[in-house]
Amino acid sequence: MGASASGADVRGDLIAAVATAPGRGALAVVRLSGPGAGAVAARVATPWPPEARRATRVALHACDAPHDHLDEAIATHYPAPASFTGEDVVEFSVHGGRYVSTAVLAAVVEAGARPALPGEFTERAVRNGKLDLLQAEAVADLIDARSRAMHRAALRQLSGALSHRLGALRQALLDVEALIAYELDFPEEDDGPQPRARATDAAVRVLAELEALLATLPRAELGREGVTVVLAGAPNTGKSTLFNALAGDPRAIVSDVPGTTRDAIEVLIDHDPWPMRLVDTAGLRADAEAVERLGVEVSARRLATAHLVLACGDTDEELARACAQVASLSEALRIAVRTKLDAREACDAWRPPADVAASAAVGVSAHGGHGLEALRAAITRAMGSLAPDPDEELPLVTRARHAAALRTARAEVHEFAAAWRDAALPAPVAATHLRAAVHALDELLGGIDVEEVLERVFRGFCVGK
């Protein structure tokens, strides 16, 4: 039986959806949740009911029409409340592809279920106290994860690391409130501990913790957006060839005509410790004709916003020139990359010249694959110096919603601490700031009745989740 924090019964009607991605695949899952899930399943599956929580083979058919056979499937029944949503849940693993899953969904809808809205299953899990809102968002992040860093951050949030941290902060704020109440009750008390100073100190500790969490935002952004790594250098130095080799995919056009790449091309690649947003750009040269010149302008813009630049040159002279040119256009970290090693000398014989202005220098042959591992390792080191490893203890603040709530809490606690320290506001007024801070954290965790927040969060989910 589910109830929101406001006490209202929020057990929903019976919903159903195909929980797997559309398209061709070995399996698809049709999921039902809500009161009567078992009864509806009984109208489309034989034999029914299966033993609870045990994967069981069934024949699926049209509603009340056992001879209108749809599929041989595996059914699992999770009676409430021990299910993902906390409601009665049935899952049918059917054969993949569009037709079977759609036909099974149509059958359960005819039998009494309603097609689910995006995110409605997870929303119910939150409403029924199975997950808090942060964990529900982590489910979406896990689904959307495109890199190891995002995957790890999502798993950590799903395990409740951020929720626990915020729960502890919330408790700390309530403790400060209790200290204030003491001051209100015994204002003249002058022996024993000093509640006024203690309340201020506790608030300052909460502020430090809020700051620490907010300070993880840039790292979360790196995890989501990737570290921007821009390939730059003179035309025809092999940038696009190297781009393709690092991407593992021939994405960029390669030719021996200088000025081949005109527009920046980018690709997100899983990398350690952060995903890499690799950008190929037009070769830098002053005498470019009109269209190419536009490309060079784009290159300059991308260089200005890069985290890391791979300055490429296919001779040592070119390499030094590329490094100097990049340095004039970008403040980003720089790795000097001597390209096409195979073309002129034995790959292993190359040594970085003394005059390249870069934090590292690597020689590669994109054709033969020589040096690519060393380049990846140099990129990993450079990324590590941009931001500490995402593995560290503190959970990341991953969304604008989180940042906004934490900033609100920080502003309120700040107001409180200042007013309380200077005895500038009457205690009940000062306490309203603490209340507002607690409210911001509650909203973050979804622990209070915040329809609008739930609506916003869950409509961004996919159907069936």
Q: How far is the CB of 323 from ligand GTP (least distance, A)?
A: 15
76 binds, among Mg ion, ligand GTP, none (CB under 5 to 8 A by kind): none
Complete DSSP assignment for 126-159: HHTTSS-HHHHHHHHHHHH--SHHHHHHHHHHHT
Residue 80 structure tokens: 């409430």
Place of tokens 């296919």: 314
Q: How far is the CB of 244 from ligand GTP (least distance, A)?
A: 8
- Is 281 near Mg ion (CB under 5 A)? no
- Is 366 near ligand GTP (CB under 6 A)? yes
Which of 143, 343, 404, 423 touches ligand GTP (CB under 6 A)? Answer: 343
340 binds, among ligand GTP, Mg ion, none (CB under 5 to 8 A by kind): ligand GTP
Residue 224 structure tokens: 């989501």
Residue 312 structure tokens: 């490429």
- Is 340 near ligand GTP (CB under 6 A)? yes
Q: Please state the length of the chain.
A: 465
- Is 241 near ligand GTP (CB under 6 A)? yes
**Measured between alpha carbons, how far is residue 424 from residues 45, 172, 224, 409 in Å?**
70, 22, 43, 20
Q: How far is the CB of 56 from Mg ion (least distance, A)?
A: 57
- Is 34 near ligand GTP (CB under 6 A)? no
For Mg ion, the closer CB: 60 or 230 = 230
Complete DSSP assignment for 280-294: E-PPP-TT--HHHHH
Residue nearest to ligand GTP (CB): 283
135 binds, among Mg ion, ligand GTP, none (CB under 5 to 8 A by kind): none
For ligand GTP, the closer CB: 117 or 300 = 300
- Is 171 near ligand GTP (CB under 6 A)? no
> What is the DSSP pairing of strand 89-95 with strand 27-33?
antiparallel
108's enclosing H/E stretch is helix 98-110
Which of these ranges, 42-50, 85-93, 249-257, 391-399, lies near ligand GTP under the rule CB under 6 A?
Answer: 249-257
**Measured between alpha carbons, how far is residue 178 from residues 174, 408, 417, 427 in Å?**
6, 21, 15, 11
CB atoms within 10 A of CB 373: 11
Q: How far is the CB of 271 from Mg ion (least distance, A)?
A: 21
- List 27's β-bridge partners, or say none: 95
Q: Are 30 and 44 in contact (CB under 8 A)?
A: no
Q: How far is the CB of 2 from ligand GTP (least distance, A)?
A: 58
Which of these ranges, 60-68, 83-91, 336-344, 408-416, lies near ligand GTP under the rule CB under 6 A?
Answer: 336-344
Residues interacting with ligand GTP, by CB under 6 A? 235-241, 254-256, 258-261, 282-283, 339-340, 342-343, 365-367
